[in-house]
Chain A
Amino acid sequence: MSRAGDVWLLYQRELRSALREKNILLYSLLVPALLYPCILWLIFSADSLVRGTLEQTPSRVAMVGLPPHHARLETELVEAGEFSLTSRPQEESLRGLQQGRFDLVAVFQPGPHGEMGVRLVYDGSRLHSKIARDRMQQVLERYRDLRLEELARQLAAADEQLQLLWVKPVNHASESQVGRFLLSILLPMAMIVVMGMGGLYPAVDSTAGERERSTWETLLTTAASRDDVVLAKYLYVVSVIAFSGLLNLAALYTCVYAVLEPMEGVTISLPWSSLPVLLGGTLLLAMFMAAGMMVPASFARTFQQGQSLSTPFYAVTILPTVLVADPSVQFTTTLACIPVLNAALAFREAIAGHLLWPQLLISLSVLLLCVVVSLWVARRVLAYEDVVLGTYGGSFWTFFRQRLLKRS
């Protein structure tokens, strides 16, 4: 049979086994596909939950010395339906505020001509207290407007004259923030974390796992060449990682356009020019991650060992992508030299519509170099029979020191 035929057969075998493994389905398919919908849902439901409970809780207000000729204010407060009112002496009220029994203390100070000052004492460290203050202010302003209107009418002013200026505030900060947050912070990081997570299990399963289940030698005694066996495994892990990443990207596009676009005031666009960067970056990352996780894992005899051997690679390369969430971290030529992080930054800038060519070219070369070096290391590792058969005593790091650097 042709070499390509052998590799294809071996590849299919890997994939078929993978698709029957719960963990691979979970980390390589479900998490990438459902991550964004879940995060969006969490953000929205947490937001409305907090707002909902706050709206339903009446503000506890202690009233100190409301003058009798302003008794209408009390009626309006009751009608607003957002307050539970009590009248208390000032001392006791302030103590109550301190102890959290009241959210707000309103101290009324009547003037000599029927006018009135109100001091709103609140606790700035408590959300409920600030809400009580806002609510009270709204009622007070309305009350004052009504009194002014009455006064003006008594002075025979026309209605139009009273409407000198009106303001209608519309707030859409929260929705557009969600959009911006999701795109610039979540996407590059989540995509890379998801790719790493999606790749870790297949990488370890197809190396250390194969050895633990004693199927490795079965495979080595088939007519397929050793190179083809390894190539098929590598292609398998690369494709799972790339697929996780692309699935994640597709889920993001769907989410953005299905959930955020229809919202009023949200303007998000993923420029089509970002796609080549995203696709190319995904592929290169997949190639680098697959080699980076498979090589250390191939020193392990059990799946667990394999996982702990390849986790450092995962941590060292993937954790720095957290930096991407910090908008003050710029995509400089220096950062473009750090593999994986450079891809994350390139993703972020591409989504924002910036194609920074020098940085992109540096990132591309650095990632390509990483892929080549990791494949070269893999070849060196596979040249040693004891490592291939799992009887080598040390880990990847001892191997690295003793055989790649020729020191003991």
Chain B
Amino acid sequence: MSHPVEVSELAKTYFEQGRGQVPAVRGISFWCQESEIFGLLGANGAGKTSTLRMLSTVLTPSSGTASVMGHDLVKEPAAVRRSLGFFSASTALYPRLTPRETLDFFARINGYPADRVKARVEELIERIGLQSYANTRVDQLSSGMKQKVSIARTVAHDPPVLIFDEPTVGLDVLNALEFHDVLREFRTQGKSIILSTHIMSEVEKLCDRIAIVHQGKILACDTLAGLRESSGEHYLEDIFVRCVKAGHP
């Protein structure tokens, strides 16, 4: 049986002037099922963003394959993108559009049925509590509000797969907690969610399964309970350190 997201031996090597070949991802495999939050936990430079950018077809993999909702990454990139919502630090909003225009544009361009776009946009605006700012230009919104619009933008076309790359960076505690609730809500709706972060507590609280990524490889992949059992440590922090040390004696 196939999962909404299946990743098999995905690898990415960059070529950089001066540095030469930079192997950022070296054969990563995982899957993510419906109603699941799958966590990618790793230090800076571990290769999380590179993996997720390949999954969202922004980058072409150097080797390996992956599929989203049964669509192959390389053969059907447009179908893959239609099936997922991608959120990262480098997916900003158009500053000169209003939230309403933004949601309308992203719903339509991602193939949401045209006759239902209006209703969908209003539903999202209401859900994020942005009624009074729906016609204000995005560049005039506070960063908390921008974040909300950005999340709404990610799910505007109601995709079955959601990818969040370090979504709570720069958010205050209250906004971060609110975001956690939103993620849980998405999970209840049956979405497959991939969350990349280096914040341990976030992973502990939210993720159903966790992959510990280090230097482009997955060192361990299990539920929190499973990781505790196999490592003999209780705190995720200790589990992480032990994994990294074991991976590199």
Interface residue ranges, A against B (CB under 8 Å): 1, 6, 9-10, 13, 16-17, 20-21, 213-215, 217-218, 220-225, 385-386, 389, 391, 393-394
Contacts and interface: CB of A to CB of B under 8 A. Distances in A.
B81 A385 contact: no
B106 interface: yes
A221 B16 contact: no
A385 B59 contact: yes
Given A9-B105, A221-B81, A221-B86, A389 B59 contact: yes
Interface string B91-102: 111111100010
Range for the number of chain B residues in contact with chain A: 35 or more
Nearest to B105: A13
Contacts of B231: none
A10 B90 contact: no
B137 to A, nearest CB: 7
A47 to B, nearest CB: 43
5 contacts: A17-B96, A218-B93, A220-B58, A221-B56, A224-B109
Contacts of B60: 385
Contact of A218 (B14, B91, B108, B114): B91
Given A10-B109, A215-B93, A389-B58, 5 more contacts: A20-B137, A214-B89, A223-B78, A223-B110, A385-B60
Q: What are the 3 A-B residue pairs with the smallest beta carbon separation, nearest first?
A: A214-B92, A223-B82, A218-B91
Interface in B165-214: none
Given A10-B109, A20-B137, A222-B109, A213 B95 contact: yes
Nearest to B81: A223
Given A217-B90, A393-B17, A223 B111 contact: yes
Main secondary structure of the interface of B (DSSP, over half): loop
A217 B94 CA distance: 11
Interface string B4-34: 0000000000111110000000000000000
A321 B219 CA distance: 64
Given A214-B92, A223-B78, A393-B17, A6 B109 contact: yes
A393 B60 CA distance: 19
Interface in B106-120: 106, 108-111, 114
A221 B58 contact: yes
Nearest to B15: A386
Nearest to A393: B17
Contacts of B17: 393-394
B65 interface: no
A85 to B, nearest CB: 69
Contact of B78 (A9, A21, A214, A225): A225
Nearest to A216: B90
Contact of A214 (B56, B79, B81, B90): B90
A20 B88 contact: no
B57 interface: yes
B164 to A, nearest CB: 12
A218 B96 contact: no
A9 B107 CA distance: 11
Contacts of A225: 77-78
Contacts of A215: 91-94
A9 B108 contact: yes
- Which of A6, A9, A215, A225 is the most central at the interface, judged by chain B CB atoms within 10 Å of its CB? A215
A223 B97 CA distance: 20
Contacts of A224: 78, 109
A225 B79 CA distance: 10
B118 to A, nearest CB: 15
Contacts of A10: 109
